[in-house]
Structure 1
Amino acid sequence: MTDAPRTAPRATDLLRTAHTSALAPAVLDAIRAMLVAAFDGDFGDEDWDHGLGGVHAYVEDEHGVVAHGSVIMRRVVHAGRAHRVGYVEGVAVRADRRRQGLGSRVMAALEEVIDGAYAFGALSASDEGAELYRARGWQLWNGRIEAYGPGGVVHLPHEEDSTYLVPSAGRPLPAAEKGALMFDWRDGDVL
């Protein structure tokens, strides 16, 4: 990320939210192209698939999509209870529009969805993105991370320093001392 000066959003910036099923193929293509560019090409088919099937929040300006994030449902087991969790995926801002509050606008829209539909929110943050999430009240999970894999439970130690949670509508977050967070399995990066 560059340390460009922070400027106010433009009057032409339009925030939209929609379920994947309501987005036209051209809009999905534009979102995907922006994500590939924002992640410097390190955004593949499985990454794209992980962000589909939920609610997308994205900002458009006169040149196209400039910011995006989605929240999808995942099952997470903690202390013997399965939770419906709003898992945040594909959060990025086009390089020329970073540090203008667009990521915060996208996250605010996704957090509304989490508050209305899920037990809590979760995400796996890059080093660059962690500051945004912490500033918005997301908390680093200080416990064990696991996933239900095809061969049984798999420990994911590489996710234990990048998994963040946010409470939903005043509900308490899981307590690390009561056990691991066990995520449902998926192809590619599990988290």
Structure 2
Amino acid sequence: MVELVTAHTSALDRATRQAVRALLFEEFDDMAEEDWEHGLGGVHALVREDGVVIGHASVVQRRLLHAGRALRTGYVENVVVRPDRRGRGHGAALMEALEAVVRGGYELGALCAADDAAAFYAARGWQPWRGPLAALTPHGRVPTPEDEGEVFVLPGSLPEAVVLDLDGHLVCDWRDGDLW
């Protein structure tokens, strides 16, 4: 039996957290402890098959600066589906659950897509950010051109006065590890 569950990090038991972490580290060669931690503290979507975690994604709150505003952003992290279970709609189910969270609770959704996942997100209505990217770091605002072309956004509950300029500047808040 396949089931989709959503829960805050605080509601995940230790075994579930360990299963998700193991899946991520197994599937991503460049996965680091900071990457794992980036996905904690928000809402998780899990796909389980016969009780075994086969897919995961989470959305956490971040602040992104755009057009003179700090936007409350639901940032999607740690999206994974076991390779032998891909192509069955599990990734779409994970994203549908998190997109509902973004639209209901955040002004904007954002994520950094791997090259092989960009078309998947674009087909779901996520828009590639075309403008320059930067991060607010302990050393001030630092451009992050290496991430350009990989950041996607999804309008959430933006105030009417805010118009996204996909060619404008987008600045993320500081965190250890990968900034985007």
TM-score > 0.5, shorter chain as reference: yes
- 2:84 counterpart of 1:96: yes
- The corresponding residue for 1:28 is 17
Give yes or no for contact 1:37–1:94 (8 Å, CA) kept in 2. Answer: no
- The corresponding residue for 1:183 is 172
Query: Identity of counterpart residues, as a percentage?
Result: 49
- The corresponding residue for 2:41 is 53
Q: Which amino acid aligns with 1:133?
A: Y
TM-score, normalisation: structure 2: 0.94
For residues 137 and 85 of structure 1, the distance between their equivalents in structure 2, rounded to whole angstroms, comes to 16
For residues 61 and 94 of structure 2, the distance between their equivalents in structure 1, rounded to whole angstroms, comes to 17
Q: Which amino acid aligns with 1:90?
A: N
- 2:37 counterpart of 1:37: no
Give yes or no for contact 1:120–1:173 (8 Å, CA) kept in 2. Answer: no
| Residue 91 of structure 1, CA deviation | 0.3
Q: Which amino acid aligns with 2:57?
A: G
TM-score, normalisation: structure 1: 0.89
Unaligned runs of 5+ in 2: none
| Residue 173 of structure 1, CA deviation | 5.5
Aligned residues: 178
Q: Which amino acid aligns with 1:93?
A: V
Q: How does 1:1-191 map to 2 (within 5 A)?
A: 12-39=1-28, 41-62=29-50, 64-169=52-157, 174-177=164-167, 179-191=168-180
Unaligned runs of 5+ in 1: 1-11
CA distance 1:71–1:58, shift in 2 (3 Å): same
Q: Secondary structure of the residue that 2:115 maps to in structure 1?
A: coil
Q: Secondary structure of the residue that 2:19 maps to in structure 1?
A: helix
Moved over 6 A (4+): none
Write the deviation string for residues 86-133 of structure 1: whole angstroms up to 9, x where unpaired.
000000100110111100000000000001110010000001111210
For residues 43 and 104 of structure 2, the distance between their equivalents in structure 1, rounded to whole angstroms, comes to 12
Give yes or no for contact 1:167–1:173 (8 Å, CA) kept in 2. Answer: no
Q: Which amino acid aligns with 1:18?
A: A
Write the deviation string for residues 12-48 of structure 1: whole angstroms up to 9, x where unpaired.
1110000001111111001111111222x42120110
CA distance 1:21–1:142, shift in 2 (3 Å): same
Write the deviation string for residues 134-177 of structure 1: whole angstroms up to 9, x where unpaired.
11000100101111011000000011110000111576662145
Give yes or no for contact 2:107–2:158 (8 Å, CA) kept in 1. Answer: no
- Report the aligned-residue RMSD: 1.4
